Amino acid sequence: MKRNFLLVAPLFLAACGGGSLSLDINSDDAAENTTLSSVRSSLSESVDLTTVKSVTVTVSEIWVHVEDVATKTDEADDDKVEGSKIEDSSKHWEQVSSEEHSFDLMTVRNDATKPLGDLAVPEGKITQMRLKLKGTAAEGSDKYRIAGAVEETDGTVCDLIVPASAINPGVKIEGIFKAMKIEASGKHHAVISLKLKDSEKLSGTGTCAYRLNPVLKVKKYELEDESGDDKGDDSKN
């Protein structure tokens, strides 16, 4: 069933005592030696996206799920939440960006990051986040194809196959993580990561393609002081 979500403008968020969130993304994989990757591919060993030259994806929308600061979570003592328990139909979802960001996941490894923007977010606790990827065409009812997203080290261009949920409602934070508290008028910074290792090259499809089941996790979260310096990590996994 298609759901309609409320679009929240920055001025409305400011009026409600919201804060700002500077959001970066990186890949939680160490870059391998290119020669070693090519050798592994030629030996027909297990090939995944860590062996390719580039993986270009586009984030088209960013949504956050924000609970009131006073709202208790399953583990209220430390504000930990379980990502899978946040329902897509919850009234607490807010769209905070519709600006498209295209980037190569191979360039954000070894602690390198790509900014996804400075977002106006409501005051409260971010208990879930999702990034909508831009797809090319549906592959049946449960998959989407992103044409030409992958370039191998020899120049071969391949498609990327992702779950339909990565396109809508979006890639979400999985597992248990600490809620990201947003203070009124506060400036916050977060780094979320996506693991490239959770992928494989497909065979017997007629075209060169890789499958990726993208999963996000919170790698770093902190409140910045007025000078822009970090006041310390509020959350680290």
Would you say residue 2 lies in a domain? no
Residues 141 and 199 sit within 8 Å (Cβ to Cβ): no
Q: Is the peptide bond between 169 and the residue preceding it cis, with omega within 30 degrees of 0? A: yes
Would you say residue 126 lies in a domain? yes
* Structure confidence at residue 33 (pLDDT): 43
Would you say residue 159 lies in a domain? no
pTM: 0.81
* Number of domains the chain contains: 1
Element (H, E) at 37: helix 34-42
Q: N- to C-terminal Cα distance for the chain? A: 34
Would you say residue 71 lies in a domain? yes
Quickly tell me which residue has 């905070």 as its tokens: 96
Quickly tell me which residue has 């190569």 as its tokens: 104
Would you say residue 189 lies in a domain? yes
Residues 62 and 96 sit within 8 Å (Cβ to Cβ): yes
What CA–CA distance (Å, rounded) separates 99 from 45?
39
Q: Which two tokens stand for residue 82?
A: 């379980």
Q: Residue 227: which domain range?
A: 10-135+167-201+214-235
Q: Which residues, in sequence order, are CB contacts of 162 under 8 Å at separation 6+?
A: 133, 135, 143, 144, 146, 211, 212, 213, 214
Would you say residue 68 lies in a domain? yes
- Please state whether 232 falls in left (phi above 0), alpha (psi between -120 and 50) or beta: left
* Structure confidence at residue 176 (pLDDT): 92
* Structure confidence at residue 210 (pLDDT): 96
Which residues are bridge partners to 101 per DSSP? 59
**pLDDT mean by block of 10 residues, the chain; 237 residues:** 41 59 87 46 66 95 90 62 91 95 92 95 95 95 96 96 96 93 95 89 89 93 73 56
Would you say residue 154 lies in a domain? no
Long-range contacts of 109-112 (CB under 8 A, 24+ apart): 109/26, 109/27, 109/29, 109/30, 109/31, 109/196, 110/30, 110/31, 111/26, 112/26
Would you say residue 106 lies in a domain? yes
Q: What angle do CA 120, 100, 171 make, to 5 degrees?
A: 80
